[in-house]
Amino acid sequence: MGESHSPFINLYCIYVIDTQVLIVGGGSVGLSLSAELAHHGVTSVVVEEQPNVNPHPRANAIACRTMEYYRRWGIADSLVAAGIPPENPADYYWVSSLSGREIHRLSLPSQTQLETLRRTTEFSIDNRLHWSAYIKCNVGQNEVDQILRDHLDTLSQSQLKSGVRAVRYIEHDDHIETVLFDPVTSVESKITSKFLVGCDGGRSVIRNQLGIAYEGDGDLAQFVSVYFRAPELMAAHPFGPANIYFPLHHDHAGYLINWDHGESWTYHIQLKANESWDEVDAIARITNLLGAEIPITIESIQPWTAHALTASSFGSGRVWLAGDAAHLFSPTGGFGMNTGVSDAVDLAWKLRGVIEGWGGPNLLPSYDIERRPIGSRNTQLAKELYERLASVMELGDILDEESAEADQVRMTLKADLVEQESLIASFGVLLGYRYTNSPICIADGTPEPEDHPQMYVPTSRPGHRAPHIWLTEDETLYDRFSVGFNLIRTNPSVDVSDLVAEATKRELPLAIVDIDTPETQIVYPCALTLVRPDLMVAWRANLAPTTSEDLWDKVTGHFSIS
């Protein structure tokens, strides 16, 4: 893997741990994978080269889907509590600069208002308030990673080894050996595991050793991200408080995120072709954006690059990839980490199935078949959002001029920006993904709803996300699920004893969930719906199958793909 070490460090090579799954990379995806594996009772070790969480916030939008998983692990409330105050207005301003003009504004209800609305609005399938228990959670990725680390500390199945770097792995017939390097002690050690998952980000050593390349469009744009404190900033401009400001003048192009009540901010500045991130005068750029001098304390500065890349394979055999190691995004839309966490949740139960013996030879390969198209879909959508946003950040002083021509320019721009509201409301992307070609979902012949980036159609069609339903004010359908497969039965008189007996024989985890609320009957119109451990629908019908063996063979990968 191209690591050059001093030759004598191998003298200190020691074997340390044996685990079921070794996860290289303790970012949001690696930590989430470990938590989901523990949820399934599978042991894992996460190795992370950084001793501590990166304090510089990158992601801010934790999608409703991700929050649904986090709710199952009992950490969703901690994330909400660590996030942007729920009463903060969810406003978005597109402005020429912070001393210039408002070109467009989108005002959404605050989290508190949404919660009230949700509780007082009758259920309807096309009302987005009922699509998930969460709209989204605005919280810095640094907070997410810390909460995930704290959560792993409470799990006997998960172990985090930070401050050590994975340098290479050796694949054997029945296990993997991974070589680690501790840069402080110069000690090399090895971990043996049944499986290895590279969650080691864009420069993944695991992907490189697998010989897997990214495909797509790289280097769409370079940015520098400035994390700073400026308690006077919110009052120093003429616009109202907002979640995000998008300055459109080409001298200020980028976006400004407020993390709290106006004290902490991140300004992501798009670099010009000849600009280098470490030469950017951050205070001058913030002052120019604001058009006024206020006290500013810079906390950290980091560069990042927008890409639209997906790995040509998500792995095979004992070695797999998830998260940024498998796909690299433009942050527009907020899909990167969220897509990675869904990778982790798809992969975790399949690893469990194979480790416990009820998973067949094609269960793990279905991970690549299901998740890689979603990686390509989501990177492509993020790229389109990036290109649209970049296209409205090309104008200069005309944005603030007083003239008929400038009025026309602003009107045209505003029309474009109305369309760009999709940057903020991407329910279709986040909830409406589907595993069209999955070999482990059993198609029922019903028509596929449109895959629309903004619109989500709750459907229990196989291959789609099992729709969420509130059962009471505070209990969701997912809260009734056990860990493993769940068979939703909306008609308790349908006999499922054969299905259950076959599952018991195979020692695979299955629970029957009898629910017949009117809402459930609407989104789960079949008497039986089999929900996979990753909250995706595997099969549905009005009667139990004639041969339960065939059904279980199919959904657990016991077949050959010709």
Ligand X SMILES: Cc1cc2nc3c(=O)[nH]c(=O)nc-3n(C[C@H](O)[C@H](O)[C@H](O)COP(=O)(O)OP(=O)(O)OC[C@H]3O[C@@H](n4cnc5c(N)ncnc54)[C@H](O)[C@@H]3O)c2cc1C
Catalog residues that contact ligand X under the rule CB under 6 A.
24-30, 47-50, 58-61, 141, 165-166, 199-201, 205, 225, 268, 304, 323-324, 329, 331, 334-338, 340
**Least distance (Å) from ligand X to the CB of residue 201?**
3
Q: Which amino acid is at 520?
A: T
**Least distance (Å) from ligand X to the CB of residue 472?**
30
How far apart, in whole angstroms, are the C-alpha atoms of residue 80 and residue 123? 24
- Residue 233 has which token pair? 């900033």
How far apart, in whole angstroms, are the C-alpha atoms of residue 103 and residue 393? 12
- Of 50 and 116, nearer to ligand X (C-beta) is 50
- Of 389 and 531, nearer to ligand X (C-beta) is 389
Residues in CB range of 279: below 8 A, 6 or more apart: none
**Least distance (Å) from ligand X to the CB of residue 561?**
28
**Least distance (Å) from ligand X to the CB of residue 123?**
28
- Of 339 and 362, nearer to ligand X (C-beta) is 339
Residue 483 Cα distances to 355, 479, 527, 532, angstroms: 16, 10, 21, 9
Indicate the helix (H) or strand (E) that contains 62. Answer: strand 61-63
**Least distance (Å) from ligand X to the CB of residue 391?**
19
**Least distance (Å) from ligand X to the CB of residue 109?**
20
**Least distance (Å) from ligand X to the CB of residue 451?**
19
Residue 547: what are its φ and ψ, rounded to 5°?
A: -120, 110
How far apart, in whole angstroms, are the C-alpha atoms of residue 322 and residue 337? 10
- Of 155 and 409, nearer to ligand X (C-beta) is 155
**Least distance (Å) from ligand X to the CB of residue 428?**
16
- Of 24 and 551, nearer to ligand X (C-beta) is 24
How far apart, in whole angstroms, are the C-alpha atoms of residue 240 and residue 291? 16
- Of 426 and 486, nearer to ligand X (C-beta) is 426
- DSSP-based three-state secondary structure for 167: strand
Q: How far is CA 461 from the centre of its chain?
A: 23
**Least distance (Å) from ligand X to the CB of residue 143?**
12
- Residue 339 has which token pair? 């897509």
Tokens 């206020």 locate to 294
How far apart, in whole angstroms, are the C-alpha atoms of residue 352 and residue 358? 9
Tokens 């797999």 locate to 320
**Least distance (Å) from ligand X to the CB of residue 486?**
27
- Of 41 and 202, nearer to ligand X (C-beta) is 202
- Of 315 and 484, nearer to ligand X (C-beta) is 315
The phi-psi region of residue 52 (left if phi > 0; otherwise alpha if psi is between -120 and 50; otherwise beta) is: beta
**Least distance (Å) from ligand X to the CB of residue 62?**
7
- Of 268 and 506, nearer to ligand X (C-beta) is 268
Residues in CB range of 157: below 8 A, 6 or more apart: 37, 38, 41, 42, 43, 44
Residues in CB range of 319: below 8 A, 6 or more apart: 169, 171, 176, 195, 196, 197, 198, 206, 210
- Of 59 and 98, nearer to ligand X (C-beta) is 59
Q: Quick check: 143 and 155 in contact, CB under 8 A?
A: no
**Least distance (Å) from ligand X to the CB of residue 304?**
4
- Residue 97 has which token pair? 């600069």
Q: Quick check: 7 and 31 in contact, CB under 8 A?
A: no
How far apart, in whole angstroms, are the C-alpha atoms of residue 475 and residue 477? 7
- Of 158 and 529, nearer to ligand X (C-beta) is 158
- Of 332 and 548, nearer to ligand X (C-beta) is 332
Report the DSSP pairing between strands 90-95 and 102-108: antiparallel
Q: Quick check: 72 and 486 in contact, CB under 8 A?
A: no
- Of 184 and 404, nearer to ligand X (C-beta) is 184
Q: CB-hemisphere CA count at 13 Å for 389?
A: 26
Q: Quick check: 284 and 269 in contact, CB under 8 A?
A: no
**Least distance (Å) from ligand X to the CB of residue 457?**
22
How far apart, in whole angstroms, are the C-alpha atoms of residue 387 and residue 345? 30
